[in-house]
């Protein structure tokens, strides 16, 4: 093929994904909505592949065996194709795609009435363009799809009620996702109390009774019933371990940073694009396992794009340890690509919204996504965690933490490790009070280590600060401030520091507070 010859490319996306996710009121509905779109895309891919004389699937690339029994949707919402048969007109191509969608819907929806509703509700967008062999089709098609999605139709949203549809669809989804493994979705309260339930005697009996009750009664307080169960089993020591954070759960969005530069560099090299797509697919599968082992619930894992729900703390570690593990898995995946030196190694950012277990799930979901795209990805260099805690009382606080300051040996994680092992600690209360009291004094000297050292010597000189443990924690707080100044100078260092200390106070707060 000469330089002037062109290929015809096409991209297809399905929706409305996020509008559907926002209908979810329970974890099983959130998972089910995500799994629906992943299953639809997988079925479309299978049927497109059967039309091999017309289409060549370029992306996504995936391992068919790895898809099975993952328990989460692994297919992205975009499909990239090369059209082989140039004699096919646009109308014929659209007709073939519509047939593929219909077959996909019928293959996973067993109720004809529901199938018709889904067909009316699901929106497909297809864009097509001719490009020369040296043009980057992924980049061009993504721009065209972005424009098509902005002009999307309202659709028959009123005809599609997610909860009603999932009543019949979920059992089929469970069978496909988990095969013969017994699987019931935890409530938000169960996820928040994950580490307590692991220690409880006869916990399966308690959970079964609780779930039966919430199906027949208007309001059942999970924690009142858990305390009663633990008292009956003589497990007072678990009750003593209960903290405020057990009533909260973390909703987390994650997304790779600067992946576009790899796509631009690879261009139309199908072999390299295939390797890149397969690498992201493998990372998603690995991240799913990490989230499962933590006691979380993966909702969606499409390449570098993750959505999951997890407990705030479990087994002596906080949620920041899980984010570090996921970041490490992503870094390892990127290193396997053996990128050329002129490409900055991609990173991953997180938006984490920690909400009370009775807080509306849909609102928590929207805020988590906003934290990712409007906060974490807006800072210089990205590669960050933007988190917010929305308290039951109505108050909230948030911070942005660079991933570099969230490694296992970082001062931040040392402070967390010390804090989670203790009850409410006077050291952290006094530290937060002192820093906030002298905020105006600290702002002009925050980047001067010598003057900051004098400040800490003069204002953290009580007995609680001079103990061996107090001196260690005082030094860790000071070094954390220094690290923020050195590595994250464009952010409000004191605001972030206050929020991090408030998180420590949050995980130490007594359950009844």
292: domain CATH number is 3.30.70.270
Are 32 and 173 contacting, i.e. CB atoms less than 8 angstroms apart?
A: yes
Among 3, 10, 1, 268, smallest CA distance to 136 is for: 268
- Residue 76 in any domain: the answer is yes
In 3-state terms, the chain is what percent helix, strand and coil (to 5)?
55, 15, 25
Do both 236 and 261 map to the same domain? no
Q: Work out how many domains the chain is built from and give that number.
A: 4
Listed residues 178, 212, 227: the one ending a domain: 178
Residue environment code for 184-201, b if the CB has 16+ CB neighbours within 10 A, otherwise e: ebbbbbbbbbbbbbeebe
How high is the pLDDT of residue 513? 62
Do both 383 and 475 map to the same domain? no
Do both 370 and 483 map to the same domain? no
Are 432 and 505 contacting, i.e. CB atoms less than 8 angstroms apart?
A: yes
Are 81 and 12 contacting, i.e. CB atoms less than 8 angstroms apart?
A: yes
- Residue 1 in any domain: the answer is no
pTM: 0.89
Do both 80 and 95 map to the same domain? yes
How high is the pLDDT of residue 421? 73
Can you tell me the distance from the alpha carbon of 333 to that of 346, in angstroms, rounded to the nearest whole number?
10
- Residue 183 in any domain: the answer is no
Among 296, 310, 504, 353, smallest CA distance to 417 is for: 504
Listed residues 160, 178, 196: the one ending a domain: 178
- Residue 136 in any domain: the answer is yes
Do both 14 and 29 map to the same domain? yes
pLDDT per residue rounded down to tens, the chain (513 residues): 445 578 888 888 888 888 888 888 888 888 888 888 888 888 888 888 888 888 888 888 777 666 665 678 888 888 888 887 655 556 666 777 777 777 767 766 656 666 677 777 777 778 888 888 777 788 888 888 888 777 665 454 445 666 677 766 777 777 777 765 645 678 899 999 999 999 999 988 888 888 776 655 545 688 998 999 999 999 999 999 999 999 999 999 999 998 877 777 765 555 477 788 888 988 998 999 999 999 999 999 988 999 999 999 998 899 999 999 999 999 999 988 877 777 778 999 999 999 999 999 999 999 999 999 999 999 988 999 999 999 988 889 999 999 998 999 888 998 888 888 766 567 777 888 888 888 888 888 888 889 988 998 888 888 877 787 778 888 888 888 888 888 777 778 888 888 898 999 899 888 876
Do both 174 and 282 map to the same domain? no
Region of residue 337 (left: phi > 0; alpha: psi -120 to 50; beta: else): alpha
Do both 145 and 10 map to the same domain? yes
Can you tell me the distance from the alpha carbon of 194 to that of 337, in angstroms, rounded to the nearest whole number?
36
Instruction: Calculate the alpha carbon distances from 306 to 38, 53, 74, 407 in Å.
Output: 13, 34, 10, 20
How high is the pLDDT of residue 1? 44
Do both 209 and 321 map to the same domain? no
Give residues with Cβ within 8 angstroms of 203, minimum separation 6.
197
Can you tell me the distance from the alpha carbon of 440 to that of 21, in angstroms, rounded to the nearest whole number?
43
- Residue 73 in any domain: the answer is yes
Query: Which CATH number is 149's domain given?
Result: 3.30.70.2220
- Residue 171 in any domain: the answer is yes
Strands ordered across the beta sheet of 123-132: 55-59, 78-83, 6-15, 123-132
Listed residues 369, 389, 408: the one ending a domain: 408
Range of the domain at 392: 242-408
Can you tell me the distance from the alpha carbon of 500 to that of 400, in angstroms, rounded to the nearest whole number?
9
How high is the pLDDT of residue 367? 96
- Residue 127 in any domain: the answer is yes
Do both 127 and 226 map to the same domain? no
Do both 17 and 166 map to the same domain? yes
Do both 247 and 352 map to the same domain? yes
Strand pairing category for 396-402 and 305-311: unpaired
How high is the pLDDT of residue 302? 85
- Residue 352 in any domain: the answer is yes
Do both 260 and 200 map to the same domain? no
How high is the pLDDT of residue 326? 98
Are 130 and 8 contacting, i.e. CB atoms less than 8 angstroms apart?
A: yes
Can you tell me the distance from the alpha carbon of 94 to that of 317, in angstroms, rounded to the nearest whole number?
51
């Amino acid at each position: 093929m000469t330089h002037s010859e062109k290929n015809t490319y096409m991209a297809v996306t399905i929706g409305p994904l996020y509008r559907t996710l926002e209908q979810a009121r329970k974890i099983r509905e959130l998972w089910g909505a995500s799994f629906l779109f992943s299953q639809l895309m997988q079925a479309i891919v299978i049927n497109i592949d059967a039309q091999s004389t017309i289409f060549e699937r370029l992306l996504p690339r995936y391992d068919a065996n790895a898809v099975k029994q993952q328990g989460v949707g692994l297919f992205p919402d975009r499909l990239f194709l090369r059209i082989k048969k140039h004699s096919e007109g646009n109308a014929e191509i659209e007709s073939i795609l519509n047939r593929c969608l219909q077959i996909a819907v019928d293959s996973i929806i067993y109720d004809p009435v529901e199938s018709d509703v889904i067909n009316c509700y699901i929106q497909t967008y297809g864009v097509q363009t001719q490009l020369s062999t040296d043009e980057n089709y992924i980049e061009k098609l993504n721009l065209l799809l972005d424009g098509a999605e902005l002009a999307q139709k309202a659709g028959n949203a009123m005809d599609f009620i997610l909860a009603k549809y999932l009543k019949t669809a979920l059992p089929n989804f469970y069978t496909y996702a988990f095969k013969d493994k017994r699987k019931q979705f935890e409530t938000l309260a169960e996820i928040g109390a994950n580490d307590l339930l692991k220690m409880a005697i006869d916990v399966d009996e308690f959970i079964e009774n609780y779930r039966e009750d919430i199906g027949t009664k208007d309001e059942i307080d999970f924690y009142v019933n858990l305390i009663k169960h633990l008292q009956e089993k003589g497990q007072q020591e678990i009750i003593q371990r209960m903290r405020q954070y057990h009533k909260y759960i973390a909703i987390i969005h994650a997304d790779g940073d600067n992946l576009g530069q790899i796509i631009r560099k690879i261009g139309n090299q199908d072999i390299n694009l295939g390797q890149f797509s397969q690498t992201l697919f493998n990372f998603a599968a690995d991240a799913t396992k990490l989230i499962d082992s933590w006691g979380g619930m993966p909702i969606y894992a499409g390449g570098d794009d993750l959505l999951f729900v997890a407990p705030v703390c479990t087994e002596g570690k906080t949620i920041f340890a899980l984010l570090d593990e996921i970041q490490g898995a992503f870094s390892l995946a990127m290193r396997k690509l053996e990128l050329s030196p002129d490409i900055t190694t991609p990173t991953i950012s997180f938006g984490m919204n920690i909400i009370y277990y009775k807080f509306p799930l849909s609102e928590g979901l929207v805020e988590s996504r906003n934290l990712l795209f409007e906060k974490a990805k807006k800072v210089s260099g990205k590669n960050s965690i933007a988190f917010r805690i929305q308290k039951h009382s109505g108050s909230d606080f948030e911070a942005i933490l660079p991933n570099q300051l969230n490694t296992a040996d970082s001062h931040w994680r040392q402070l967390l490790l010390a804090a989670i092992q203790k009850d409410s600690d006077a050291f952290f209360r006094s530290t937060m009070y002192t820093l906030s009291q002298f905020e105006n004094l600290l702002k002009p000297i925050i980047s001067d280590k010598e003057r900051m050292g004098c400040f800490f010597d003069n204002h953290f000189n009580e007995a609680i600060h001079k103990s061996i443990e107090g001196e260690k924690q005082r030094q860790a707080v000071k070094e954390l401030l220094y690290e923020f100044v050195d590595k994250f100078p464009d952010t409000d260092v004191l605001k972030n520091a206050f929020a991090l200390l408030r998180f420590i106070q949050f995980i130490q707060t007594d359950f009844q507070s």
